[in-house]
Structure 1
């Protein structure tokens, strides 16, 4: 009995311990579940707030560009192009450049003009291999919506570029309200995805069919959240919304519905997550955010441990002290974790609040969000010269105090504030302010540079606004100026070295001959030495641009490459001058008929003149003259180039007048004229007129070369000019008589009247080892009015190449049997004596080929070639490499 009596308390104690342990386990599990649910609800609330901010950012990005197609739909040129029975090459070129300019200013992806049938008439990427021009987008919903309802939107992969984007469209209407075309802007949302990729949460957007098309996780893009019905797949295929990308289901499983649009799901490789969704009704999209439940699970386990520890402490008094210490440790860890979470959430809330305050500040003080992406400081004043808008860079550049810049503040106050700090230069402050105010009132554009006391250099550009007012940009070009000073220092060092090397030889010459030959030798050596690093720099700049992904950095690289190309042209002109002065340029004087030369020049420059809205006329002649035909052509090319450059509107005339036993070839223009005091100096090196015509500026060497060629050939150069009425440049050559051929039509013939195609008469070679490709290309090019002089393989091309008979454009295959196209090109160039522009046409997708083509200044088209892309690229090359 005593044995059993002693056993019973032990059994009861053991049973009690077992029940207590079970109760502790059950209560701990319940507490853990409740803690997890509360933590997950808190996470869901925070995720919902974060999702709302992401949704606002996405909507703000879209709304920034929504008004752009509506504004362009009112453009007179666009409406004229859509209402005209036929669109000519000049209007097409003007529309392409306008869309390209607007696209660059608005920082969109592409701008496209479609006619009422969906055909792309013009686009901002007209000069790219993936040009939209010539494609038909009638099947796109954004076109159908715009034609039916006036506007539309649609997210899809680009047909030509395969780059996804959000398309915003606006109908262009005639005077009677009929839709006659559509303007489309494509907004690329990839930068938003890149920002999402850096977040700890998963953020993505699905369309109305449940297809994920925007995601910070690249592997989830174009996955389905639910199975697609056959009708939906048919619709996606018809609209080519996602191209040929295979759509697959996203692998996930819904674990629990927490209510309020919040679910708990499990995904392979991610684990368990809180899934929060928000509808974007305007686009019919849904924005999703997935937040991991690891933090809530850890919190629940902590709570469960705390509960279990508390119960165990109450049940087991003997372990109270130990349990107390454990609980203290657990509480401390929980407190630190909670403080960290609270601090993190507080930072997020402060960031959101700061963003709202900043937005309100921008609305109150005119800090325009549409100007924030510009690297320059920008300010806009109205017709009364009061501030209406600016960007943050403007405030930072001039270090204005808080509250100083606000809407309605007179710009004179800003000038006065800067003048007191010495930023307007020396002299009386009021005079400096008055000069700037008068310039703003005059509405004339300006550009100048100002060096500050700290050594920095600011480039200031100003332009009037169509409805009154003025916009001014301020760019810090200190780094560019420093580089220019370094180049000048290098040139000075090079000049000193060359002078030292030629000093002994120069002293042995007579004074006049020594001065002339020293200058010639210096120019030739300097040009040669400078061309080598410049050529390498251009290749490095091209290679660097291929590795850059930031749009602003790519623009800087493009500007560097353009500057190097301009410098290259200047140095080549200097080399021509040195060859002329040193007598190294050989002449080939002979008798020839002048008519074909003038006809060729009229046709070539007529295309360029048409592109600028000018008319070039020429008068046929049967005169026989004695001269060097190539050098005479160079003289007339410079005359015609200057006439186009300095003639804002009107016409240009090329013709001849008899002057005794000589013939005077004249180029008339209706430009602004040349003052009498400057008519002699323009024939000197680096002298040029500062015209108002917004075209490329020359280096000031063309007429200097003309003067030296004329002296070499013993031809007389003439100039008559009247300010405001135009100029007449002429060259007088020996006249031998008239050609026996029948007289050409006496009336003037306009170059653009023969054919409105920019490719009409273009001499093309097509080199391909496939006979069928050659014949197909010949047929296509001849339909465009091209003269296909050769369409064959590499051997035939080498056999047909002759000096001075290079084509205007070369279509070159890459794989040509035992030789490649890039290897064949130098051999042909050596035979021709020139390097015509080339377009690489290949089935290879090697990035190295693209880089090589870019570095060489060639075009690149992958097979199969799209005819619109080929035509656009050939038109671009012919305009860029014109006479």
Structure 2
């Protein structure tokens, strides 16, 4: 309770005096009180303890008092420093040669120097701390020293000035009476206050005005000199349509003396004075031009033609200027128009000649197209006519068994067989190139297994390469590609055949590389290489590089067929070659999903199975070529087949009806002369006797023939007839 008697707000001296008074009162009470049970002594102890606490409290208060005195000294020192800094700031601001004022974040004037507002004596007495920014602007707007812009009231000026106050930084000029100018710079401070600087720029503006006047005078002289030296006539009118400038070229173009031009004359007056000497071009007249000049809205540029009598043509261009005036330029285009007319006449003559030449070229193109079509038809027809006896020759040779040939004649028979194979290859190449050029080649894109294709190519070319002393390596591949199997095989056959033909020693390598979604088929050789200058020419028909001249070695059609077939299939074809080291041909083929393919039995087994399968069978040959019919008959009889034959479908139907025997299978030529075709004959037989095995044998390689056979379910064998293909057909029976 004694502690509660002390007021913390009292000074330390007062608190100490109170504590001493309390101590004395307690001691006196102890001395007056007697207690047999020792209570007096306990009170004495409490008084002693209380005295110790009072002593500690007094010491704390003493230290606090010392700290307070030190703080007061530092505060007084800081106050003196702030006042000194404020005085230094005021002195520094006063030394500034410009008017300076500082407004706080509440837009209240904090301080300003004596130069602030010195150009407006009627507001200086109000420029004291505490003045609001709005009040300052209101007094400035009503100052008699302010020169307001024309048609602007003090209230309008004050609103516009206050609007600028919202910008973070702004600099602008204020015009005063007596042609004096102030530049006002207003900037925001970091705490949201505003600093305003006023600079007298009267001398600068007067100097600038003087320099601008000199510059305008110089520009006027330059413009005048320029106008007088340009090759165009120019005249300038002000916003009221009065003439304010022109050049000498204008008078010479219009053949008008310069003294007839004078400043201030109106455009309408000039137009009226010269109306009898000029005429307007198409789309323009005097009323239209006058309306454009008098228009009060924004005028679009105007261009028209003006003629003076029949001897001068002027191209006129009129355009509005920023001050609502306009300028007109006159360009002499008489020579240009004459040149255009002459060019137009020459162009008409040229167009007639071009048309005449175009017609001649069209006739020549028609002749060329007809000649090309005739050539394609001739190649197809000639190939067809040649395939007939070729098939007969091959079949006759096939009927000759090894046991019937003397050893000394066997070599000649083998050479004859090779010669016929060469003729067959040449005819096949001619037919291929003819179809590819005519665009009649049809492709069937399907999955093709490269392992089977590579094995067949290896079996086909290994003996040929060995005979030439070359090593042929065909790398196996399990990839499946999307392509036409016939054309893909023909492409690789031609590339491998070319590599073997042109390689004198070394090896030929065939392989496939896997890339992203593609398979790159490559054929490498160690031949002489192909020069870069010849790498484009080798794909031309009948073009051969240092190859043997014998037709048995080819006619230079292989690579032409490869290029066209790759283009037809969409397989990019590439070539890389180095002279003396060899060549690599490559083509990109897209990959396909793997698909099962039937196995290919051994050729000797096929032949044996075919002979057993057709033993004692009856075959009917319908062929209008006597030699081919006889050759096929001999071959079939050699295999143990009984043969009936007829040269036409009509005779074959009659013979069957006459003998009353239905053959086991039919081999029918598609082109039987003027009567029915082979397919029509087979359809008739099936209509009369039900489904009978039949095969169309033809030299026609048109896609529609293959499509017709596929639609009817008839097997198709192309001429010249390969005995192995015929054996496969018989085995299938």
Higher Rg of the two aligned structures: 2
Give TM-score scaled by structure 2 length: 0.32
Higher relative contact order (CA 8 A, sep 6+): 1
Give TM-score scaled by structure 1 length: 0.27
